[in-house]
Amino acid sequence: MISPTANSIRVFLHLLAVAIWLGGQIVLAGIVPRLREVAPDALTTVARAFARIAWPAFVVIVFTGAWGLGTTHVADKDTEYMVTLMIKLLLVGGAAIATIIHSVGTSKLAKGLGGALGLLCSLAAAYGGVLLAHAA
Ligand code: HEM
């Protein structure tokens, strides 16, 4: 059997947290319209419960991502890698800001646009990660 390493555990934790943050948002986006019809009073409770799981996962994503960068000789990487990394980090920042706007905003615009942009930025950041891991 291939021996587990600290690096493989780090990637596993990065992906596990991504599954919670990103997968959770996609599942919630599918559930919310139905919930709004049958139990609109439960929406806030469900959203808060999800946030209590999703934000710790986001912290794990950032921690394991930074850990990965720490083990990568970033200075030796080419310009393509660095540009991809910078775009990915901007998308991560955009995802966090949009999701905060979605959470604290009360208008339909803040809720809709914040939620949609948060999800799109997270999806694009995930693809950026795949490029870094498999195409560099
Ligand atoms: C919304 C936030 C994020 C998402 C959805 C995300 C997603 C991913 C995914 C799907 C991969 C591919 C892993 C693989 O196939 O092996 C990856 C790799 C990577 N991510 Fe992230 N990531 C996020 C945030 C971050 C942050 C904040 C950093 C750095 C501080 C980071 C650094 C990396 C690095 C360096 C890789 C390349 C492979 C590795 O060393 O693990 N990521 N990411």
pLDDT tens track for 41-60: 999 999 999 999 999 999 99
Secondary-structure percent of the chain, ordered helix, strand, coil, rounded to 5: 90, 0, 10
Residue type, 116: A
Please give the pLDDT value at position 89: 98
Which residues are within 8 A (CB) of 111 and not within 5 positions of it... i.e. 6 or more apart?
102, 105
Q: Is 118 in the pocket of ligand 1 (CB under 6 A)?
A: no
DSSP single-letter state for residue 76: G
Residue 126 lies in a domain: yes
Please give the pLDDT value at position 135: 84
Residue 11 lies in a domain: yes
Which value, in Å, is the radius of gyration of the alpha carbons in the chain? Answer: 17
pLDDT in tens, 51-92: 999 999 999 999 999 999 999 898 899 999 999 999 999 999
pLDDT in tens, 4-54: 999 999 999 999 999 999 999 999 999 999 999 999 999 999 999 999 999
Residue 60 lies in a domain: yes
Centre of ligand 1 to C-alpha 133, Å, is 8
Return the structure tokens found at 113: 């646009």
Is the model's pLDDT at 136 over the cut of 80?
no
Q: Which domain holds residue 49?
A: 6-134
Residue 1 lies in a domain: no
Mean pLDDT score across all residues of the chain: 96
- Give nearest CA residue, ligand 1 atom 33: 65
Q: Is 14 in the pocket of ligand 1 (CB under 6 A)?
A: yes
Residue 63 lies in a domain: yes
Q: Is 11 in the pocket of ligand 1 (CB under 6 A)?
A: yes
- Does this model's pTM top 0.75? My answer is yes
